[in-house]
């Protein structure tokens, strides 16, 4: 940090510094969300796998550590030091998470970006304790030194510059979520619900489909091992359709550079300068998070906790195979071991409905532009994130003026 920066403890910078519960409330099937350190990732809060607790436990936790809009969270156990800025009114309780309550929205943004800086990450790393599992105590968070901006206008300008980049990254993420939902809905309609076939069987033109595309679908059904399927389509096992090839080891320290995406069992885990597989392609979690199906937009490197898909039959549509595997509930086909794993031989026995080649070609024509846009958005977001991470320490230290960065 530049010499003109003055530091004060977080307990003085914020209205208060607290933490969530350290108890383990019983999960409920229908309840309120409980967020832990694992739900904080890359500056975002991922609630997709937050488990639910009772209203009574929820109220008890929030009595001492209620999260409000413009609070800043930070992971305290496991992956220590991952911050998250709460931009909307929250509806969750927290466990093993630090809770900074800044005095204003502007202070919240300043604190959040400082916690993402290399300097703050290094200081958090130095203050972390534990051997088998790292943690940072609440006292260390309260004493954690926060730099002050030279003046209010500088603080506003830095928050605006960095916030604009983050807002565009978040917009791209939401756009991609919408595009992905559109593609998945089309797969569901054509190849799971068989909507075009039902419509033609009832003497109606398929909704939202031109005549040449509608002509590719039959107007009746036939019996199969999976029940009624469109006439002329087939049923095949996964093992008859694809090979689940093994990924290869790649040490974590070698996943930090290059343009080749590295995939683990829970999705992208880094970047590398050499490919293992020519893309696009499909990665399936093998160990740790088995059965998770991930799309790789370009050349990629699947590590040894994964399989990657190699088509071996006439069905060559990777887009179709991606969605068909995604709905197979592969996570339940586990290997009998201490570490959760996908049993490849069990997966090979699962059956798929294989559409006609013409229908698959039409599906690819519809899906390819959607996936191309998703890839373009991902690439832009990575570029923006690199720019943000380059500007962040220089702006906070005063090395780069806000007038130059703007």
Instruction: Say whether pLDDT at 92 is over 60.
Output: yes
Domain end (from 360, 385, 401):
360
Percent of the chain with pLDDT over 90: 75
Residue 89 resides in a domain: yes
Judge whether 133 and 345 are in contact, CB under 8 Å: no
Residue 395 resides in a domain: no
Q: Report the number of distinct structural domains present in the chain.
A: 2
Report the pLDDT averaged over residues 170-186. 97
Report the pLDDT averaged over residues 252-257. 84
Task: Assess whether 128 and 227 both reside in one domain.
Answer: no
Tokens 């569901």, residue located: 188
Judge whether 370 and 179 are in contact, CB under 8 Å: yes
- What's this model's pTM, rounded to 2 decimal places? 0.86
Tokens 């694992």, residue located: 38
Instruction: Say whether pLDDT at 1 is over 70.
Output: no
Distances 122 to 115, 126, 128, 149 between C-alpha atoms, Å: 10, 6, 10, 20
- pLDDT bucket at 398, cuts 50 / 70 / 90: confident
Return the biggest CA–CA distance within the chain: 78
Beta-carbon contacts of residue 29 (< 8 Å; ≥ 6 apart): 52
Residue 163 resides in a domain: no
CA dist., res. 71 & res. 99, Å (int): 7
Task: Assess whether 213 and 338 both reside in one domain.
Answer: yes
Q: How is residue 297 written in tokens?
A: 């937009």
DSSP state of 43: T
Q: What is the pLDDT of residues 7-42, one digit of tens each?
A: 999 999 999 999 999 888 888 888 899 999 888 888
Write the Ramachandran bin of 232: left for phi over 0, alpha for psi from -120 to 50, otherwise beta: left
Other CB atoms within a 10 A radius of the CB of residue 369 amount to 11
Distances 210 to 88, 122, 196, 213, 256 between C-alpha atoms, Å: 42, 58, 11, 6, 47
Q: Where are the alpha helices (DSSP H) in 293-338?
A: 318-326
Task: Assess whether 246 and 116 both reside in one domain.
Answer: no
CA dist., res. 111 & res. 119, Å (int): 13
Task: Assess whether 91 and 229 both reside in one domain.
Answer: no
Task: Assess whether 241 and 111 both reside in one domain.
Answer: no
Any idea how long the chain is?
406
Task: Assess whether 225 and 356 both reside in one domain.
Answer: yes
CA dist., res. 132 & res. 150, Å (int): 41
Task: Assess whether 234 and 298 both reside in one domain.
Answer: yes
Judge whether 263 and 306 are in contact, CB under 8 Å: yes
Q: What is the pLDDT of residues 100-155, one digit of tens each?
A: 999 999 999 999 999 999 999 999 999 989 888 889 999 999 999 999 988 899 99
CA dist., res. 65 & res. 86, Å (int): 14
**Long-range contacts of the stretch 38-45 (C-beta < 8 A, 24+):** 38/78, 38/79, 40/73, 40/74, 40/75, 40/79, 40/82, 40/83, 40/84, 40/97, 41/82, 42/82, 43/82, 43/83, 43/84, 43/85, 43/112, 43/116, 43/166, 44/84, 45/73, 45/84, 45/86
Q: Which residues share a beta bridge with 310?
A: 243
Residue 378 resides in a domain: no
Residue 385 resides in a domain: no
Residue 206 resides in a domain: yes
Task: Assess whether 80 and 191 both reside in one domain.
Answer: no
Task: Assess whether 139 and 205 both reside in one domain.
Answer: no
Q: What pLDDT is recorded for position 151?
A: 87
Beta-carbon contacts of residue 396 (< 8 Å; ≥ 6 apart): 1, 113, 114, 117, 119, 147, 158
Instruction: Say whether pLDDT at 237 is over 60.
Output: yes
- pLDDT bucket at 335, cuts 50 / 70 / 90: low
Query: What are the φ/ψ torsions at residue 117 (nearest 5 degrees)?
Result: -75, 155
Task: Assess whether 287 and 191 both reside in one domain.
Answer: yes
Strands 300-302 and 260-264: parallel
Residue 282 resides in a domain: yes
CATH of the domain at 272: 3.90.220.20
Host domain of residue 97: 7-148
Task: Assess whether 265 and 211 both reside in one domain.
Answer: yes
Residue 344 resides in a domain: yes
Task: Assess whether 217 and 120 both reside in one domain.
Answer: no
């Amino acid at each position: 940090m530049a010499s003109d920066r003055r530091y004060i403890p977080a307990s003085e910078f914020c209205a208060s510094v607290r933490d969530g519960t350290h108890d383990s409330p019983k999960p409920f099937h229908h309840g309120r969300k409980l967020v832990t350190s694992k739900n904080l990732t890359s500056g975002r809060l991922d609630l997709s796998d937050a488990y639910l607790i009772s209203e009574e436990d929820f109220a008890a936790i929030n009595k001492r550590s209620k999260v409000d809009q413009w609070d800043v969270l930070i992971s305290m156990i496991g992956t220590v030091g991952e911050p998250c800025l709460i931009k909307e009114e929250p509806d969750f309780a927290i466990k093993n998470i630090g809770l900074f309550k800044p005095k204003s929205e502007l202070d919240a943004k300043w604190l959040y970006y400082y916690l993402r800086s290399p300097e703050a990450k290094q200081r958090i790393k130095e203050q972390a304790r534990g051997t088998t599992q790292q943690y940072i105590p609440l006292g260390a968070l309260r004493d954690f030194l926060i730099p002050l901006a030279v003046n209010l206008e500088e603080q506003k300008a830095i928050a605006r510059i960095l916030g604009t980049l983050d807002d565009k990254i978040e917009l791209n993420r939401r756009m991609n979520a919408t595009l992905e939902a559109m593609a998945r809905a089309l797969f569901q309609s054509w190849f799971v619900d068989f909507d075009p076939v039902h419509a033609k069987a009832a003497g109606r033109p398929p909704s939202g489909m031109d005549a040449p595309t509608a002509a590719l679908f039959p107007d009746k059904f036939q019996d199969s091992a999976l029940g009624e399927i469109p006439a002329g389509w087939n049923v095949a096992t996964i093992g008859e359709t694809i090979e689940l090839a093994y990924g290869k080891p790649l040490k974590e320290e070698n996943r930090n550079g290059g343009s080749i995406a590295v995939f683990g069992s829970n999705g992208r885990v880094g970047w590398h300068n050499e490919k293992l597989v020519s893309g696009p392609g499909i990665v399936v979690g093998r160990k740790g998070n088995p059965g998770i199906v991930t799309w790789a937009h370009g050349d990629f490197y699947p590590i040894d906790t994964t399989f990657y898909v190699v088509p071996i039959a006439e069905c060559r549509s990777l887009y179709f195979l991606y969605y068909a595997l995604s709905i197979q509930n592969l996570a339940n086909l586990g290997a009998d071991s201490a570490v959760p794993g996908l049993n490849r031989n069990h997966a090979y026995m699962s059956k798929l409905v294989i559409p006609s080649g013409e229908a698959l070609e039409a599906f690819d024509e519809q899906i390819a532009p959607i996936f191309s846009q998703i890839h373009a958005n991902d690439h832009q977001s990575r570029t923006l994130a690199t720019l943000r991470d380059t500007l962040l320490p220089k702006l906070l230290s005063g090395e780069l003026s806000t007038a130059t960065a703007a």
